[in-house]
Structure 1
Amino acid sequence: MDGDQLVETLEDAGLSPYQADAFVTLLEFGSASATDVAQASSVPDPRIYDVLRDLEDEGYIETYEQDSLHARAHDPADVLADLRSRANRFETAADEIEDRWSRPDIEDHKVSIVKRLDTVLTQTDELIRSATNQVQIGLTPAQFAELSDALAVAVENDVDVKVCLFPPLEDEPDLPSTEDLARASTEARYRDIPSPFLALVDRSWTCFSPHGGSTNEYGVIVNDRTHSYVFHWYFLTCLWEVQETIYSARREEPPLTYVDLRQCLQDVMPLLEDDRTIEATIRGFETDTGREATRHGTIVDATYAGISASDDRATPLSQLAGQASLTVADGDERFTIGGWGAMIEDYEAMRITIESIE
C-alpha cells in the first residue's frame, strides 16, 4: 500500500484529510517540526498546529517543544488496536448486511422476495429437514447434491419425497446414482429440458427460483396453502405426470401409501370396478373444524368431475382436476375424503394407506 492509499484508508477510519496526511508524513519522518510537516504535506501552514494537536488528542502522535513545536508518531500499539477493532466491526457489519439482505426471517413473512438462489436453497434445506408429510421438488443435479442430506433426513422421517431432476447445467455433475436417489427420495423422475427450481413442502411452503439460464436471478419463498396448491398443479402436470421414472421405492402390494388423493383415486377406480374390497387408513383433518383425525374403513366409491376412461388405461390427471373424492364406509357410517384443499368433503386426506385389497 502506497502513501496515498494509506491516507485514504486513514480517512475511512475517521481522520480528516489533513490529519491523515500529517500522520503519514510523521510516520515517514519519525519526528519533525510543525513547519517541516506542513511543507512535506498538504496541510496549510496556518492549520498545521491545530491538526497536530487534534492528532495528539486522538492518540496518534505526541508533541513537544524544541525551539518550536515538534511532533513524533506515538507508540502505534493503541492506534493499531483501534484500526483492527474498526476493521473487525466493518467485517461484522458486512456479514450482518449480507445476512439481512439475503435471508429474511421466513417465520415472520408470508411472502419473501430474495436476491439470490443460494438463499432459496438455504431456506429449502431448513424446510425439508422439518417436513412431516411430503416434499415435491424439481432441481438440477448440482442442487440435488446440495440438498441431498436434507432430503435424506426427510426420507428417514417417513416423508414422501418426489424428486424431478433437470438436465445438468454447464460444469455441473451428472445425474445422481440410483443409490443416491434411494437415500434421498421416495420416487424420482427426469425432465429433459431446463426448468425453474421449485420445492413444495407439506402443502404450505413454496420455494421458487428461475432456472440457471435466466437473465434475472431472484427467489420467492411463500408460506401459503393456496399459492402452494397452484404450484402443486404445475409440478404434477409439467414435472411429474408425463416424465420418465428413473427411481421408485413404491411397493406393488399393500400396504400402499399415498399423499395425493388423485393418485390414489387413479389406482383405486379399476379395483372398485372389479368389485375388490379395499381397506384403508386415512390420516388428515376434519374440513369443518380443522382438527387432526385418523379414520379406518372400506373404500366403496370414487367420484370425480371428469369423463371416465373408456378403456383399460388409467384415468388421465386432466380428468381429475375438478372435484375428486373417495367414499369410505366404517360400519354403518359413510364419510367422504377429499384431497389438498378439500372443502365440501368430510375430511382432507394428508396420507392414505391401502391396508389390503381382497
Structure 2
Amino acid sequence: MDADELVETLEDAGLSPYQADAFVTLLELGSASATDIAQASSVPDPRIYDVLRGLEDQGYIETYEQDSLHARAHDPAEVLADLRSRADRFETAAGEIEDRWSQPDIEEHKVSIVKRLDTVLARADELIREASNQVQIGLTPGQFADLSDALATARENGVDVKVCLFPELGTEPTLPPTDALARACTEARYRDLPSPFLALIDRSWTCFSPHGNSTNEYGMIVNDRTHAYVFHWYFLTCLWEVHETIYSARRDEPPITYVDLRQCLRDVEPLLEQGVTIEATVVGYDTETGREVTKRGTITDVAYAGVSASDERVMPLSQLAGKAAITLENGEERTTVGGWGAMLEDLEAVRITIESLE
C-alpha cells in the first residue's frame, strides 16, 4: 500500500484529510518540528498546530517542546488495535448487511426483495396456513408437493384455493393425483408453459419469483393490496382463464360460494335474464367505514363496463376488466356490491354465497 492509499484508509477510519496526511508524513520522518511536518505534507502552516493536537488527542502522536513544537508518532499498539477493531466491525457489518438483504425482516417491510426461491416458498407456506378467505397460486408439481400441507390446512379452514400447475423448464410434468388435489385446493388448472412462481393470499400478500430460466434468481414478498390486485389480473389472464380444468370441487347447486365477484356476475347474469330469483349472502367491507358487514337479499341486477355479447356462451373476462357490480335488495335497502378494490359501490365483497335459485 503506498502513502496515498494509506492516507485514504486513515480517512475512512475517521481522520480528517489533513490529520491523515500529517500522520503518514510523521511516520516517514520519525519525529520532526511542526514546521517541517507542514512543509513535508499538504497541511497549511496556520493549520499544522491544530492538526497535531487533534492527532495527539486521538492517541496517534505525542508532542513535545524543543525550541518549538515537535511531534513524534505514538507507540502504534493502541492505534493498530483500534484500526483492527474497526476492520472487524466493518467485516461484521458487511456480513449483517448481506444476511439482511438476503432475508429481511418481513414484519417490518411492505416490500421485501430476497435472493432465494426457498425464502419465497417458506414465507408463502406461512401465509397460506394463516389465510382466511382465498389463495391463488401458480407453481410446478414439485412446488405443489412442498406446499401441499399448507394448502390442505387452508382448505380445512374454509379457504377458497385456486391452483394453476405448470411444468418446470426442460421436464415432463407429473401431475399430482386427484386425491392430492382434492385435499389441497378447490379447483386446479394446468398451463403447459413454464411460468414464475406466484401466490396471492387474502388480496393482500404477494409472493413471487421468476422461473428457473430467469437471468437472476430473486424473489419478492409484498404486503400491499394494489400490488396484489395487479398480480391477480396476471393470474386470471395468464394462469387461469384459458387453461384446462384438471380438478374442481365447485358445486352446481346451491349453496354456491364465490370469492371473485366477477365470476359470480358471469354466472348469475344469464339466470337473471331467465327470470330466476337468486337469494344470496354477501360478506364484505363497507367502502365508507371499512367495517366488515354481512348482507342478505335477492340479486336483482348486474352492471359492468363492457358490452354483453348475446352469442357468447360465457361472458369474456375482458368485458369485466372495468367496473363490475351486482345489486342486492332485501325489501328494506338496496346495496350495490363491488369486487376487489371497490370504491363506487356500497360494499366490497370478499365472499358471495348463492343460497337458493327459484
Give the TM-score normalised by the residue count of structure 1: 0.72
Q: Match of 2:309, SS? A: coil
Find the counterpart in structure 1 of residue 214 from structure 2: 214
Alignment of 1:316-327 (within 5 A): 316-327=316-327
What residue identity is the alignment partner of 1:149?
A: D
- Give the percent of matched residue pairs that are identical in Structure 1 and Structure 2: 77
Alignment of 1:1-358 (within 5 A): 100-170=100-170, 174-311=174-311, 313-358=313-358
What residue identity is the alignment partner of 1:275?
A: G
Deviates further, 334-343 or 93-102: 93-102
Please give the per-residue CA displacement for 1:120-166, whole angstroms capped at 9, x wherever unaligned: 00110011010000000000111111111100000000000000000
Uncovered stretches (5+) of structure 2, i.e. residues with no partner: 1-92
Name the CA distance, whole Å, in 1 between partners of 2:100 and 2:226: 28
For this pair of structures, how many residues does the alignment match?
Answer: 266
Name the CA distance, whole Å, in 2 between partners of 1:94 and 1:129: 34
CA deviation after TM superposition for structure 1 residue 243, in Å? 0.6
CA deviation after TM superposition for structure 1 residue 283, in Å? 0.3
Please give the per-residue CA displacement for 1:203-247, whole angstroms capped at 9, x wherever unaligned: 000111100121210001110000100000000011001010000
What residue identity is the alignment partner of 2:284?
A: G
What residue identity is the alignment partner of 2:219?
A: G
CA deviation after TM superposition for structure 1 residue 171, in Å? 6.5
CA deviation after TM superposition for structure 1 residue 311, in Å? 1.9
Please give the per-residue CA displacement for 1:162-190, whole angstroms capped at 9, x wherever unaligned: 00000134578611111111111110000
Task: Tell me: CA distance 1:95–1:330, structure 2 relative to 1, closer, same or farther (3 Å).
Answer: farther
Find the counterpart in structure 2 of residue 71 from structure 1: none
Instruction: State whether residues 142 and 173 of structure 1, in contact with CA within 8 Å, keep that contact through their aligned partners in structure 2.
Output: no
Please give the per-residue CA displacement for 1:253-302, whole angstroms capped at 9, x wherever unaligned: 00000000000000000000001000000000000000000110000000
Find the counterpart in structure 2 of residue 9 from structure 1: none
Which runs of structure 1 show a deviation greater than 2 angstroms over 4 or more consecutive aligned residues? 93-103, 168-173
What residue identity is the alignment partner of 1:328?
A: L
Uncovered stretches (5+) of structure 1, i.e. residues with no partner: 1-92
Find the counterpart in structure 2 of residue 80 from structure 1: none
What residue identity is the alignment partner of 2:300?
A: V
Please give the per-residue CA displacement for 1:297-329, whole angstroms capped at 9, x wherever unaligned: 000000001011222511110000000000010
Name the CA distance, whole Å, in 1 between partners of 2:290 and 2:245: 35
CA deviation after TM superposition for structure 1 residue 333, in Å? 1.2
The two structures, once aligned, show a CA RMSD in angstroms of: 1.9
CA deviation after TM superposition for structure 1 residue 102, in Å? 3.0
Instruction: State whether residues 168 and 175 of structure 1, in contact with CA within 8 Å, keep that contact through their aligned partners in structure 2.
Output: no
Name the CA distance, whole Å, in 1 between partners of 2:186 and 2:102: 31
Name the CA distance, whole Å, in 1 between partners of 2:266 and 2:165: 24
Name the CA distance, whole Å, in 2 between partners of 1:179 and 1:233: 29
Name the CA distance, whole Å, in 1 between partners of 2:114 and 2:239: 24
What residue identity is the alignment partner of 1:304?
A: Y
Q: Match of 1:228, SS? A: helix
